[in-house]
Chains A and B, each alone.
Chain A
Amino acid sequence: MLQFALKRFGSALLVMFAISVLVFLIFFATPGVDPAARIAGRNADPATLAQVRHSFGLDRPMPVRYLLMMRHLLVDRDLESFVNRGSKVIPQILQATPVTLSLVIGAALIWMTAGIIMGTAAAALRGKAADPLIMLVGVVGVSLPAYWLGEVVNLITQKQLHDSVFSWVPPPGYVGLSQDAGQWALHMLFPWLTLALLYAGIYARLLRGEVVTALGEDYTRTARAKGLSERRILVRHALRCSLIPIVSLFGLDFGALVGGAALLTEVVFGLPGIGKLTFDALQNLDLPVIMGTVLYAAFFVVLANALVDILYARLDPRARHA
């Protein structure tokens, strides 16, 4: 058990290290890319460039630069932004985390509930009119660009119907949960729904396929021959077995979203979360912030994967001894 935990921990560290190196290389080792030129601005003269290079430590060898950055980020915890000098990276990330967590956890609850209900219902009703109808909703969810949907939601709730149906919708933005729970939920409601619609479609389609397969398995026939009710066969046998592959995908998606993949939704709804922070830093090529957010993202990706492994073993007894 201890050996397994150590191995798991080791591989997690390795993934985080690999991701940080990958991103570092993208920004420092891509041919033709010069961060100093970005910082100094367009048309800077060679002297300024040299000075910028020196003061930001960009003239050092690459491994040294990487280690220095990691030391400032992880050991001294005083890594500063390249763009807004003096503003530290870690507090910015800490400030953005609760926003992203609020968005993603709420949306995940909605999409998993909706996805499981839709997928199971479609599988149970296959051959009837409801199945293609539910799956059509799924396809639409998968096919809508998330940011565009957000814009349209804004248009409807803030402008077109703001004077009638949606007068209670607050302007886009974020209110902390600890400040005012009601306002928090009100501000998050449409971001949640927008993000959830996309994933509910994906999960409903995926789950339908799994449940249909499970309903054709021998154990379903056994369950039927036992005299169980159709509902029990569907929920306790077919759905229960179908959840196993869904859970591992959920871990990946959840980790990626908390790690910043929700940035389009955050940008559209003016939520100052991790995705927005990363995106702004990318636009300015603010490397320290990028490295910070990327490592943060990697951390959540790895954490989510570890949680999935545990959950997987809980859901699938066959995985426990592997």
Chain B
Amino acid sequence: MPEPLLDVRDLRVSFRTRQGSVTAVDGLSFSVAPGEILGVVGESGSGKSVSMLAVLRLLTNPNVTVSGEVRFQGRDLLALPDKEMRAVRGREIAMVFQDPMTALTPVYTVGWQIAEQIRAHDRVSRREARARAVRLLSDVGIPDAASRVNAYPHEFSGGMRQRAVIAMALSCDPALLIADEPTTALDVTVQAQILDLMRELNGRGSAVVLITHDMGVISQIADRVLVMYGGRAAEEGPRRAVFHGPRHPYTWGLLDSVPRVGGARLRRLPTIAGVPVSPGALPPGCAFAPRCRLRHDRCAELPALAAGNGDAGHRDACWLPPDDRGSLRLTARAAATEGPGTGPDMEKEATA
């Protein structure tokens, strides 16, 4: 296995609030290999955005505490002096945010803002930085880049702005790009273009962490998948393995709630019962247990991320017997689509 580009170990993020300490990320570990696309998926509040912001140390609120280890190319980012951290941001690791409408400073031209990033990291002249900005804009598919470089953000459409933000992120050829729901705020047709763009830049050698709540997006683009729930990793593995043999009941719920064009028409789209766990009320055991149809006594204990049978790269955090997941999933799905009434049997079945 190659040396990972980014290796996060036991990351914890907690917020101090009036109601006491709230844990948003609870002992998260994952890694990203050079050139790979990692899809991070989970509901809102699952800690996926917060953990990535913590990796880049962008959680500046004094009420936030971050602990753990974030190894990037051998250095622990969490221990780096501010100045060296600034040299990593934008140059080695770039980040693209969800809402392109507000991500750019409204009073400067798009070109100026791209050139600003280039000049923050490379000793180049204004003219050279500008020329690079034009090339980048044209690379991300903005027509007539030479004149659009002088446009202000409000003169761009949402999709164009996201392209501009991506162009900015690419300006220093980062080894890793973290994209936080880059397509959520965009039209469906534009979404596909932006995903193409991501794939293209991955082709140039950058590793990508793509945060999304959309399993469809993950299935199109990711090499590996990390499923998060309640600030912890629920399942992690290669895309094919996770999509074809999902192991965690939460992943089953996510996959089953995606409508399918080809499949049988369902009376009702299955949903995951209950509401997402709130970071303030994380149970001591499995975070998903309160919503899980296959919950049993063991779930009061915190499950560790472990490989099931066979594939060492495909791990999950669940107490269910590893060999029997396929048939368990079918019973769970039947319960979800048929509605109430089958619950008690299921519980028996699971504990058996």
Direct contact of A and B (CB under 8 A): yes
- Which A residues have a C-beta under 8 Å from some C-beta of B? 127, 217-219, 221-230, 232, 236-237, 240-241, 244, 315-318
7 tightest CB-CB pairs across the interface, nearest first? A227-B90, A227-B89, A218-B102, A226-B90, A317-B152, A225-B95, A219-B105
B-chain residues with CB within 8 Å of residue A222 when the two chains form the complex: 97, 103-105, 165, 168
Contact B86 A317 (CB under 8 A): no
Nearest B residue (CB) for A219: B105
Could you list some 26 contacts between A and B, CB below 8 A?
A: A127-B62, A218-B102, A218-B103, A222-B97, A222-B105, A222-B168, A224-B58, A224-B89, A225-B56, A225-B89, A225-B95, A226-B89, A226-B168, A227-B87, A227-B120, A227-B121, A228-B86, A228-B116, A228-B120, A230-B82, A232-B120, A236-B116, A240-B105, A240-B107, A241-B106, A316-B106
Q: A217-B102, A226-B117, A227-B87 are in contact. List 18 more A-B contacts (CB 8 A).
A: A218-B97, A218-B99, A219-B102, A219-B104, A219-B106, A221-B58, A222-B165, A222-B168, A225-B90, A226-B90, A226-B116, A227-B117, A227-B120, A228-B90, A230-B82, A232-B120, A236-B116, A317-B152
Q: Say which size band chain B's interface belongs to.
A: 20 to 34
Residues 136-170 (chain B) with a chain A CB within 8 angstroms: 152, 154, 165, 168
**B92 to A, closest residue via Cβ:** A227
Closest residue on chain B to residue A320 by CB atoms: B152
What separation, in Å, do the CA atoms of A225 and B99 have in the docked complex? 15
Task: Write out the residue numbers on chain A whose beta carbons fall within 8 Å of the beta carbon of B99.
Answer: 218
- Is B121 touching A318 in the complex (CB atoms < 8 A)? no
The CA of A241 and the CA of B105, in the complex, are separated in Å by 8
Residue in chain B with minimal CB distance to A230: B82
Residue from A223, A230, A316 having most chain B Cβ neighbours under 10 A: A223
Residue of B whose beta carbon sits closest to that of A223? B105
By a CB distance below 8 angstroms, the chain A residues around B134 are none
Bound complex: CA A221 to CA B87 (Å) = 16
B148: shortest Cβ distance to chain A, in Å? 14
Indicate if B60 sits at the interface (CB-CB under 8 A).
yes
- The chain B residue with its CB closest to the CB of A244 is B107
- Alpha-carbon separation in the docked complex, A222 to B62 (Å): 19
Q: How far is B87's CA from A237's CA once the two chains are assembled, in angstroms?
A: 19
Residues of B within 8 A of A224 (CB): 58, 60, 89
Smallest distance from the beta carbon of A174 to chain B beta carbons, Å?
A: 41
Distance A228 CA – B115 CA, assembled complex (angstroms): 12
CA distance A219 to B168 in the complex (A): 13
A-chain residues with CB within 8 Å of residue B56 when the two chains form the complex: 225
Determine if B129 is an interface residue (Cβ-Cβ < 8 Å). Answer: no
B121 to chain A, nearest CB (A): 6
Most buried by A among B104, B107, B117, B121: B107
Q: Which residues of B contact A236 (CB under 8 A)?
A: 116
Complex CA gap A227/B56 in Å reads 10
Residue of B nearest to A126 (CB): B62
Q: How far is the CB of A59 from chain B (nearest CB, A)?
A: 59
Report the bound CA distance from A226 to B60 in whole Å.
Answer: 15
Residue B91 is within 8 A (CB to CB) of chain A in the complex? yes
| Nearest-neighbor residue (CB-CB) of B117 within chain A | A226
